[in-house]
Amino acid sequence: MSATTPPANEKPAPRPMLSVREALDTLLAAARPVDGIEQVPTLEANGRVLAQDQASTIDVPSADNSSMDGYAVRALDCIDGAASLRVAQRIPAGSVGQPLEPGTAARIFTGAMIPPGADAVVMQEQCEAHGDMVTVRHAPRLGEWIRRAGEDIGRGATILAAGTRLRSQELGLAASSGLASLPVRRRLRVAVFFTGDELTMPGEAPGGQLAPGAIYNSNRFTLRGLLENFGCAISDYGIVPDSLEATRGALREAARGHDLIITSGGVSVGEEDHIKPAVEAVGRLDMWQIAVKPGKPLAFGEVRKDASAGSAFFMGLPGNPVSSFITFLLFVRPFLLRLQGVSGPLEPRAWAMRADFSLPKGDRRNEFLRARINAGGGLDLFPNQGSGVLTSTVWGDGLIDNPPGRAINEGDTVRFIPFTELQH
């Protein structure tokens, strides 16, 4: 018998907790971008994910043009710094001038095309106009105040790569190179529901009074807001009672026509936690214990669609409001981005910052502490880090990613991830 085989009467060791990294790796290995590309007007493409590389249809700028109001000249005519030239033409933006005769100047405005023959622009502040003549009190260098054709973008150059989430800047760039519409991935279809007999919707408590033992369904607001930020098409099935039957029914319905089902609550192993048996009845499920605080339990699996052969992904978040919020930011966010077709690194950007507090004893799990940037450029810690204390998420600017077992002393450098980095 080998030394590593346990005696037959010993209980099996509890499964070790997954690290955040291990959980992420498993999730991302399962995520494939959704099929389905649609062509949408560039004006309506904000927040969508580009499906194919885009090349410019033109040189930007499309022709040499002036970057100043002034006079287009031949630099050779102006070398003495006091040239007197006849103003033979006027070229506002949008019109095309005539070839510039030697010894003449063209009145020109910002954005107007440089006429053939001119090789510099002298800004109007360095010129004196009198009648149809101008005195040019500056000897320009060749090309002065001229924006060259193709200086920003050459025709045919790739301006946006597939897998880019389109923000206003990307839309402006696409429009500047003549792209009236863009191929984007179809929106991710996400179904959500919230388990718990204690849940009540704000405004719906009987008689306006929250019943004893009841709580408001805050996760519905947090999770829907997050999904909206990520441009998902959301189907919200509301509150589902704590029963196997109801949970299974909600799952079947939610699998239809959706890519992903997200739930909150019911992922612990209490008698009232029905997510595990319900998902197992209609699909496949892994119950994870992740070495993360808050947010230890997370369920990941798939629910079969009844008609077709396919299935919808399933992610069961913990019920505690801060846990479900943070679990979304850490695990659902990167998974969603991959399903949406976002390419490139998914890690949120983090900053090394100074802790202006101490945490005498680090948790044995990887803790994500709600903290706020103070006026001195350091971080303050929210005093109550409880997994039900939503105030911490409103007060805080982001999360300190604190490794397992690490105590923090005032002045230490910690890893800070702003909430803004986690919501796109």
Q: Give residues in contact with ligand AMP (CB under 6 A).
A: 194, 196, 198-199, 215, 217-220, 264-268, 318-321
318 binds Mg ion (CB under 5 A): no
Residue closest to ligand AMP (Cβ): 319
Tell me how far apart the alpha carbons of residues 160 and 52 are, in angstroms, rounded to a whole number: 8
Which of the choices ligand AMP, Mg ion, none does residue 185 contact, using the CB cut-off of 5 to 8 A by kind?
A: none
196 binds Mg ion (CB under 5 A): yes
Cβ–Cβ under 8 Å, residues 334 and 292: no
> DSSP alpha helices (H): ranges in 157-208?
168-176
- In the complex, the smallest distance separating the C-beta of residue 275 from Mg ion, rounded to whole angstroms, is 9
Which of the choices Mg ion, ligand AMP, none does residue 218 contact, using the CB cut-off of 5 to 8 A by kind?
A: ligand AMP
218 vs 243, beta carbon nearer ligand AMP: 218
Token pair belonging to 368: 């994500």
- In the complex, the smallest distance separating the C-beta of residue 93 from ligand AMP, rounded to whole angstroms, is 57
- In the complex, the smallest distance separating the C-beta of residue 292 from Mg ion, rounded to whole angstroms, is 20
Which of the choices Mg ion, ligand AMP, none does residue 194 contact, using the CB cut-off of 5 to 8 A by kind?
A: ligand AMP
Which of the choices ligand AMP, Mg ion, none does residue 219 contact, using the CB cut-off of 5 to 8 A by kind?
A: ligand AMP
Token pair belonging to 215: 């709580």
> DSSP alpha helices (H): ranges in 185-341?
218-229, 244-255, 275-282, 321-327, 333-339
220 vs 258, beta carbon nearer ligand AMP: 220
What residue has token string 């910690």? 414
β-bridge mates for residue 192, sequence order? 236, 262
Which of the choices Mg ion, ligand AMP, none does residue 217 contact, using the CB cut-off of 5 to 8 A by kind?
A: ligand AMP
- In the complex, the smallest distance separating the C-beta of residue 197 from ligand AMP, rounded to whole angstroms, is 9
> Residue 182, Cβ neighbours under 10 Å: how many?
23
202 vs 405, beta carbon nearer ligand AMP: 202
What residue has token string 């810690």? 381
163 vs 265, beta carbon nearer Mg ion: 265
265 binds Mg ion (CB under 5 A): yes
β-bridge mates for residue 290, sequence order? 18
Tell me how far apart the alpha carbons of residues 333 and 149 are, in angstroms, rounded to a whole number: 41
What residue has token string 């450098």? 413
265 vs 396, beta carbon nearer Mg ion: 265
- Ordered strands of the 83-91 beta sheet: 120-123, 70-73, 104-108, 83-91, 133-136, 127-130
**Chain positions contacting Mg ion, by CB under 5 A:** 196, 265-266, 319
